[in-house]
Structure 1
Amino acid sequence: MRVTPLLLAIGLASALENGLARTPQMGWNTWNSFACDMNETVVLQAAEKIVSLGFKDLGYHYVVMDDCWSAGRNSSGYLIPDPDKFPNGVADLADKIHDMGLKLGIYSSAGTLTCARYAGSLGYEEKDAALWASWGIDYLKYDNCYNQGEEGTPKLSYDRYNTMGKALNATGRPILYSLCNWGVDGPWNFAPTIGNSWRMSGDLINVWDRENVNCPCSETEGLDCKTPGYQCSVMNVLNKAVYYASKPYAGAWNDLDMLEVGNGGLTDTEAVAHFSLWAALKSPLLMTNVMTTIDAPTLSILQNTAVLAVSQDPESSSAVRIWRYYVDGGQIQMYSGSLSGGDQLVLLLNGGSTARKMNATLTDIFWGDGAEGTASEIQSSWDVYDLWADRMSNATANAIIEGGNATRPINMTALGGYEKVYAQEPLPTSKALMGSKIGSVKARGTVTAHVEAHGVAMLRLREVKSNDEL
């Protein structure tokens, strides 16, 4: 049996001991589409679409209110919801969200102010955690603005974020804890012991690959990597995240920031690659598009169950970058990762400006297993499945948008719910979870795929038990 980072982590205590996020959390967040214009109506309308369009059935369970929800503190020091945005209060909103079978998230900052200059939680951790628990909150996104200089060493950041972690635990309510400190002070080294996820870089924008002085750590300019920045492209965030692939484990995940699928800026090919990479690297999948105006291509990306099965595989760990080469117009990269039952994920990324044929040998694919594992695996033969080959058609997606979840080609609820399906035993064989078989690779052979510019080939390999089956 191959030893993966996840198997090595089984003996570790789960993040916060709260039992949450055993696979990366999935849901929707208000910020990218609404910023401070969000309110109760925005949240409820999005939640209704998450249910009616089948997103809840696929595992998108958290509906997260980001910044700008409060109206300050009362005389007792407790936060007050903005009465214009939330006339019925947050507790009432939480009840409505829970009645839909979803969970409600809220936002604050480990500073005196939030990033939009609303009341922060620094010094009020116990009061805020107790209040949120009393409202029925299920998720906290905890930012890093106006932190009074309490950063600069891992210990300073750890202490500040751990204070809120302890306060959440003390409420007795399971609240998923999502640290958003932008990679400052190396959260991948301390956050796994106190949180369910941690942002490992500056803010992502819906741009594929562009040098931006506001997002340091440019590989070509040699800028200061310690400054988190913002306006980071997909490739910039990816090229930072690859160095921390060994850090996440069940209950604690590297967060590459929220999804930009459906927000414009990315081509369809780029959006597919963005979603695939975030799933492969085990980032939380938080949608941010306007759910009430979702289009068919966006829905078909976000509802690709074969890709979601990789994200939510209960036995897999983050895919690891095996090689990278520079080509005209960008980079080509190859990723590999273990999946349940001995399956293997292979992801070929073409960051260049032209389509190309890309190859990965079985030696490349099983490089992470070490010499002994590689020798064993490359002598086997493997069936190759393309996880995007059966992408939902626009006609089917439009039927779902117009007619609701009843038109879905796969009913996850009828199959026992997304947790059971993504962890299906015996191993999944349906196209909905495997994609389509596109060929086989014989022992010591090479996997080959045509990859569009700024695109990916996302493949699942399954061992052939007998060469006669090839």
Structure 2
Amino acid sequence: MEFRTKLTLFSLLLLSANASDNGLALTPQMGWNTWNHFGCGISEDTILSAANAIKQHELDKLGYNYVLMDDCWHAPARDPSTNAPVADPEKFPNGVKDLSDKIHAMGLKFGIYSSAGTKTCAGRFGSLGFEEIDAKTYAEWGVDYLKYDNCNNEGRAGTPLISYERYNNMSMALNATGRPILYSMCNWGEDGPWNFAPNIANSWRISGDIYDNFARYDDRCPCTSMLDCKLAGFHCAAARIIDFAAPVGQKAGTGHWNDLDMLEIGNGGMTHDEYVAHFTMWAILRSPLILGNDVTNMSNDTLSIITNQALIAVNQDPGTGPANRIWKKEVFTGDGDISLWQGSLQNNVFVVAVMNTSPHNQTVDILMEDAFLDQGAAYQAQPYEFFDLWQKDSNGNWGKSIGTVQGKFSVTVNTHGVKVWRAIPKPSNSRRAGEL
């Protein structure tokens, strides 16, 4: 029986091996989503106002191109004669196709939401059993992106094969439309989607839902690891999701990405340093960067964080994968930790980061033999010019050079903060930096 199950899964994987090969998400997708700030309180005006704000702030020029309409866009029921999905006529009096056309006219892309269940998470009609008619309708509406949730799945989960089959039904339906539609699975890390989703989707959620907090433990997000998690839950703090992401980075790459959930920057629940750490880690872990705030009403601080071009460039670096956690050290028992991360970028460039989840500032020595563990002895011994990606240079660009590092360096990281650098190999006669 076990052999037959494995053979069936292998056969299904072969049949759909090209389902996610749609030319999309060659780098992690970027955009804005209604849910984190507006929840069910959405309308045509909400979405068009956000699209206009994206253009006004020129966020699209940085890559924020997808305008995503989450849950609660639905009418009370499907079309009784065709079973096609129908939008709420009060919230969307001109229909979804008209909304999509208006967003496209701005040079942006449009996304929609459904669930691989009988109902969505907010109780609207889901797509389970209606995959073909829904995908066909989305394509007719000009949809460019589908976020596909996991609520009310009628128990069709519990093994990778069962979850794979349910999500693959929509993957094949989208593929059959002939329209390139980015497929963003949102099954909360259930059944280890990083092991099967790369064959059918462009991205997949790895955990329960984020909430606007950096490090608070919440019983509603009970797992300490997602690798064998039985209840993904929700109310997962940013630092918890970063922990979840650390071991599964190896599964992400061009066209298929681990999704750490939408960004909370600007929603008010974290400090400046916490939002900086949140954005930094999402960027270097190559998560989709999907804004979740009210982009029509942003502070200068929020705008400054989400427009850090140096970190966006790391996130969008072509052909490379997520940063890896080299080590994590507990500061005091139960009092947070400090961790070292490193990732390879194009052209022999690297990103190095240190994150502090403890409630106190921490000073730590970073050894180059640790930072360049994967690259070997020659890389560990040579000097690097380090560019601080949260300092601006004399031209006002993020990424100020702080000198050359060789052997080791000392760094102080604020509580719930991060330090992150771009590291470029240098000749050995360069000047050296002191404490970073």
Same fold (TM over 0.5): yes
Give the Å deviation of 1:363: 0.8
The equivalent residue for 1:277 is: 281
Give the Å deviation of 1:17: 1.4
What does the per-residue CA deviation read over 1:161-181, in whole Å, with 9 as the maximum and x for residues that have no partner? 000000000000000000000
Is 2:236 the counterpart of 1:232?
yes
Which residue, out of 74, 88, 99, partners 1:82?
88
Contact 1:217 1:223 in 2 (8 A): no
The equivalent residue for 2:385 is: 383
Give the Å deviation of 1:223: 12
Give the Å deviation of 1:224: 7.5
Contact 1:206 1:233 in 2 (8 A): yes
Give the Å deviation of 1:360: 1.8
Give the Å deviation of 1:380: 1.6
Tell me, in whole angstroms, the C-alpha distance in 2 between the residues paired with 1:218 and 1:62.
32
**Partner SS for 1:142:** strand
The equivalent residue for 2:397 is: 432
Give the Å deviation of 1:302: 0.1
**Partner SS for 1:368:** coil
The letter of the residue matching 1:67 is D
The equivalent residue for 1:446 is: 408
Give the direction of change, closer, same or farther, for the CA distance of 1:121–1:287 in structure 2 (3 Å limit).
same
What does the per-residue CA deviation read over 1:18-40, in whole Å, with 9 as the maximum and x for residues that have no partner? 01000000000000111111110
The letter of the residue matching 2:392 is D
Give the Å deviation of 1:468: 5.3
Which residue, out of 349, 354, 363, partners 1:357?
363
Give the Å deviation of 1:340: 1.2
Give 5+ residue unaligned stretches, structure 1. 1-12, 392-408, 410-429
The equivalent residue for 1:141 is: 147
Which protein has greater RCO, CA pairs closer than 8 Å, 6+ apart?
A: 1
The equivalent residue for 1:184 is: 190
The equivalent residue for 1:414 is: none
Tell me, in whole angstroms, the C-alpha distance in 2 between the residues paired with 1:48 and 1:14.
35
Contact 1:15 1:251 in 2 (8 A): no
Tell me, in whole angstroms, the C-alpha distance in 2 between the residues paired with 1:14 and 1:299.
38
Tell me, in whole angstroms, the C-alpha distance in 2 between the residues paired with 1:362 and 1:80.
57
Which residue, out of 425, 429, 432, partners 1:467?
429
Contact 1:203 1:231 in 2 (8 A): yes
Give the Å deviation of 1:226: 2.0
Q: CA RMSD in A?
A: 1.8
Tell me, in whole angstroms, the C-alpha distance in 1 between the residues paired with 2:364 and 2:396.
24
Alignment coverage as a number of residue pairs: 412
Which residue, out of 68, 71, 74, partners 1:70?
74
Tell me, in whole angstroms, the C-alpha distance in 2 between the residues paired with 1:223 and 1:49.
39
The equivalent residue for 1:117 is: 123
Give the Å deviation of 1:469: 6.9
**Partner SS for 1:210:** coil
Give 5+ residue unaligned stretches, structure 2. 1-16
Give the Å deviation of 1:448: 2.8
Contact 1:129 1:168 in 2 (8 A): yes
Which residue, out of 96, 104, 108, partners 1:98?
104
Tell me, in whole angstroms, the C-alpha distance in 1 between the residues paired with 2:18 and 2:61.
26
Give the direction of change, closer, same or farther, for the CA distance of 1:242–1:437 in structure 2 (3 Å limit).
same
Contact 2:189 2:207 in 1 (8 A): yes
Runs of 4+ in 1 over 4 A off after TM superposition: none
User: TM-score, with normalisation over the residues of structure 2?
Assistant: 0.91
Give the direction of change, closer, same or farther, for the CA distance of 1:265–1:45 in structure 2 (3 Å limit).
same
The letter of the residue matching 2:422 is R
Contact 1:62 1:102 in 2 (8 A): yes
**Partner SS for 1:276:** helix
Give the Å deviation of 1:55: 0.4
What does the per-residue CA deviation read over 1:220-273, in whole Å, with 9 as the maximum and x for residues that have no partner? xx9972211110111111111101010001000000110010001110000000
